[in-house]
Amino acid sequence: MARPKPATFDKQKTVAENRRARFDYHIEDKFEAGIALQGTEVKSLRAGEASIAESYAEVREGEVWLVNANIPEFSHGNRFNHEPRRPRKLLLHAREIERLFGAVERKGMTLVPLSVYFNATGRAKVELALAKGKQAHDKRQTIKERDWKRDKARLLRENR
């Protein structure tokens, strides 16, 4: 029998985070995926250089690809340096890929990367979310709740 996965992922060092994703999308489910990287990409990630702000993931021919993620060229790289915005293959189990493909095709959901990080064993991972886009009124409601939490904390701090 398979060992159950932990509820939270073991993030040792977060390299890039997509903070806008939680504002623009309703997060339904999260997955941890490995990334197929070239040598200089790993060195750039370890230096803390990456951006996934405008990136997304897609299922193509039974594989999941991270598209439009920017990992800049390594500063001390040579002519074998990598291309910064190339599509990168995400490593997932076949069942997870089928589940993601079904959700994207049938339910009209989106695959959004939430963060890129190194786990405890030093491997680069992507926290991938299955998400549904928010409407404008949902975003206004989110802003209203965030402002109220901030005001409530300020009032509690002042009235102690």
More confident residue, 112 or 2: 112
Model-wide pTM > 0.85: no
Pairing relationship of beta strands 88-91 and 110-118 according to DSSP bridges? unpaired
With tokens 């997932």, the residue in question is 92
Asked if residues 95 and 102 have their Cβ atoms less than 8 Å apart, the reply is: no
| Residue-level length of the chain | 160
Q: Report the sign of the C-alpha dihedral through residues 136, 27, 55, 16, in that order.
A: positive
In order of start, what are the domains of the chain with their CATH numbers?
A: 13-134 (2.40.280.10)
Measure the N-to-C terminal CA separation of the chain; round to a whole number of Å: 53
pLDDT (0 to 100) of residue 93: 93
Which uninterrupted H or E stretch holds 126? strand 124-133
Span 13-20, average pLDDT: 88
Q: What is the pLDDT of residues 32-68, one digit of tens each?
A: 999 998 888 888 888 888 889 889 999 989 899 999 9
pLDDT (0 to 100) of residue 107: 83
Q: Nearest 5°: phi and psi at 50?
A: -170, 155
